[in-house]
């Protein structure tokens, strides 16, 4: 059975009020607004962007949607979780300050920012799923205890999953640090001594201190590696290599199963909006501006995370006249969608319904 995916064309260069109106129309198309009870907790799951990154969803674009939600409840909040890698997003204090620097302040938006897995990422709860790869998912308590979840995702490429959008925001983004670690457990990069310049950059980015310098090259210690992929992204000479096949498949399937754990906890009280602006090769965890790989397309909404991600990727490929995601990293990003459909997370079939902007 096909799912409905609503779409409004758009461009990030449009007036913020215009974009806010488009987001509001799509939010209302989800049919969730009328279900929100007085005093319900409503989590707006979002990525606040890494320091130096400009691709993230801007708070101005959400003004009308926030107004709508605040008419229903005074207990809405922005939520995200701590990262595995070391930086401003690896603890709640630094991350809250970074979110504020990117415009997500109570004064500006009317909503507080909540880093949902606690000070250092240890505040989680186990959600039984009993699926192929995940038996019990470790989900951030500050998300799991909400009554409604609005998942706001910026479509990008991704070094390990090929595509990052609603499923990744739900599965990886709602997991605690322990849950993220579980999902990455099978992904083990290698460093080619032939290409390595022994510059040491990757050592500083490794959150597990799993890289050493030996015999003129950086070397990854398998027993310490957590598979986060930071070394691959920061290496400027392409010396870090991933075993894309089996490793990526395991990660994507775990991510989809984590997404199922969250989706299943909010059945009938969850919706998704994907923003197709500033689509880049890497995700918003990159601490720098990135060139876009395809022009701005618009905004989509659905209650089906599989359908909205499939529609988002299809639109990007159509506009780019090629698979812009596989051109960045040769990863079969459809694995997460196919597995999601298989486990009941959503449908690969969809009807794209245009809404006048």
Point out the domain boundary residue: 241, 258, 274.
241
Mean pLDDT of the chain: 94
Greater model confidence, 106 or 232: 106
Query: 45 with 153, same domain?
Result: yes
Query: 159 with 30, same domain?
Result: yes
Number of domains in the chain: 2
Helix 244-265 and helix 177-184, axial crossing angle in degrees, nearest 10: 140
Side-chain-side CA neighbours of 350 within 13 Å: the count stands at 28
Query: 228 with 269, same domain?
Result: no
Query: 138 with 20, same domain?
Result: yes
What does the pLDDT read at residue 310? 98
Query: 120 with 232, same domain?
Result: no
Q: Is the pLDDT of residue 245 over 60?
A: no
What does the pLDDT read at residue 76? 98
Q: Check if the beta carbon of residue 114 is closer than 8 Å to that of residue 78.
A: yes
Query: 264 with 230, same domain?
Result: no
What does the pLDDT read at residue 205? 86
Query: 62 with 156, same domain?
Result: yes
pLDDT class for 244, splitting at 50, 70, 90? very low
Query: 327 with 343, same domain?
Result: yes
Looking up residue 227, the CATH number of its domain turns out to be 3.30.70.20
Please spell the DSSP secondary structure of 122-182, one letter per residue: --EEEEE---SS-SEEEEEHHHHT-SEEEEEEE-EEETTTEEESHHHHHHTTTB-HHHHHH
Query: 38 with 124, same domain?
Result: yes
Looking up residue 271, the CATH number of its domain turns out to be 3.40.50.11440
Query: 308 with 196, same domain?
Result: no
Q: How far apart are CA 102 and CA 115, in angstroms?
A: 15
Q: How far apart are CA 233 and CA 236, in angstroms?
A: 8
Q: Is the pLDDT of residue 348 over 50?
A: yes
Q: Which domain holds residue 297?
A: 3-184+245-354
What does the pLDDT read at residue 285? 86
pLDDT, tens digit (0-9, with 9 covering 90-100), for 294-334: 999 999 999 999 999 999 999 999 999 999 999 999 899 99
Q: Is the pLDDT of residue 55 over 90?
A: yes
Q: Whole-model pTM? A: 0.87
Query: 180 with 227, same domain?
Result: no
* Contacts with 227 (C-beta within 8 Å, 6 or more apart), sequence order: 184, 185, 186, 187, 188, 189, 247, 251
Query: 76 with 221, same domain?
Result: no
Q: Is the pLDDT of residue 230 over 60?
A: yes
288: left (phi over 0), alpha (psi -120 to 50) or beta: beta
Point out the domain boundary residue: 204, 221, 241.
241
């Amino acid at each position: 059975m096909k799912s409905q995916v609503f779409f409004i064309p758009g461009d990030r260069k449009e007036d913020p009020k215009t974009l806010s109106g488009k987001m509001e129309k799509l939010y209302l198309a989800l049919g969730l607004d009328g279900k929100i009870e007085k005093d319900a907790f409503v989590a707006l799951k979002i990525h606040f962007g890494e320091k130096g990154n400009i691709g993230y969803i801007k708070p101005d674009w959400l003004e009308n949607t926030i107004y709508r939600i605040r008419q229903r409840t005074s207990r809405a909040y922005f939520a995200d979780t701590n990262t595995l890698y070391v930086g401003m997003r690896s603890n709640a204090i630094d991350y809250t300050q970074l979110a504020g620097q990117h415009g997500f302040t109570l004064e500006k938006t009317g909503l507080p920012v909540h880093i949902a897995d606690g000070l250092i990422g240890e505040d989680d709860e186990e959600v039984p799923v009993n699926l192929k790869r995940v038996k019990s998912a470790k989900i951030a308590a500050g998300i799991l205890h909400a009554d409604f979840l609005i998942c706001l995702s910026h479509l990008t490429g991704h070094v390990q999953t090929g595509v990052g959008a609603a499923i990744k925001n739900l599965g990886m983004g709602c997991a605690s640090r322990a849950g993220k670690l579980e999902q990455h457990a099978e992904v083990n990069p290698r460093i080619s001594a032939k290409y390595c310049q022994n510059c040491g950059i990757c050592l500083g980015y490794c959150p597990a201190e799993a890289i050493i310098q030996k015999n003129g090259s950086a070397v990854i210690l398998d027993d310490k590696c957590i598979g986060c992929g930071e070394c691959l992204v920061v290496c400027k000479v392409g010396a870090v290599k991933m075993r894309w096949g089996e490793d990526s498949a395991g990660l994507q399937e775990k991510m989809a199963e984590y997404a199922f754990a969250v989706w299943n906890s909010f059945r009938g009280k969850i919706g998704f909006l994907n923003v197709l602006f500033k689509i880049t090769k890497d995700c918003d965890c990159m601490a720098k501006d990135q060139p876009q790989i395809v022009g701005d397309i618009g905004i989509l909404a659905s209650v089906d995370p599989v359908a909205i991600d499939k529609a988002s990727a299809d639109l990007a490929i159509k506009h780019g006249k090629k698979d812009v995601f596989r051109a960045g990293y040769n990863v079969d990003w459809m694995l997460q969608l196919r597995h999601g459909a298989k486990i009941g997370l959503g449908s690969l079939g969809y009807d794209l319904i245009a809404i006048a902007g």
